[in-house]
Amino acid sequence: MVCGLYGKKFNGYMGCCLAWPTKSFETVDVDISRLSDEREGGWPPDEEEPALAGLWRSVVVRPLRQLGLIGDDRPNDPWTYSQRRFNVILTATLKERESGKSFCISNYHM
């Protein structure tokens, strides 16, 4: 069994695990990585925002949100969300003892 724990005290140090029967599978390789540190090829660039739109958001919209006078209707961008997370991705390369075939399995909680 392999675990990648990344939480904090308030959430019980949550994480994710992978487990497999060692009688049936040989462990070839295991990787435990923070996805946001390891994404190959980098992250998509942020879209440029017109200067006036940024000023409007900072001066008018943000204070109104903080006062609870308007909601947050911005879409949740999965790239930005993933980049800020501390979640780990577990990957194991296993080899089936009977057939000799190798394969990878991964687990990521988001």
- Pairwise CA distance, residues 31 & 10, whole Å: 26
In a domain, 46, yes or no: no
Looking at residue 9, the DSSP 8-state letter turns out to be G
Looking at the structure of the chain, the number of domains it has is 1
In a domain, 47, yes or no: no
Decide: 21 and 96 in contact? Cβ < 8 Å. no
pTM for the whole thing?
Answer: 0.62
Distance separating the N- and C-terminal Cα atoms of the chain: 20
Place of tokens 């980098």: 42
In a domain, 15, yes or no: yes
By C-alpha distance, which of 34, 33, 4 is closest to 18?
Answer: 4
In a domain, 59, yes or no: yes
Write out the residue range of the structural domain in which residue 22 sits.
2-40+52-108
In a domain, 45, yes or no: no
- Reported as a single tens digit per residue, the pLDDT across 38-91 is 666 666 666 676 777 777 777 888 888 888 777 766 666 777 777 777 888 899
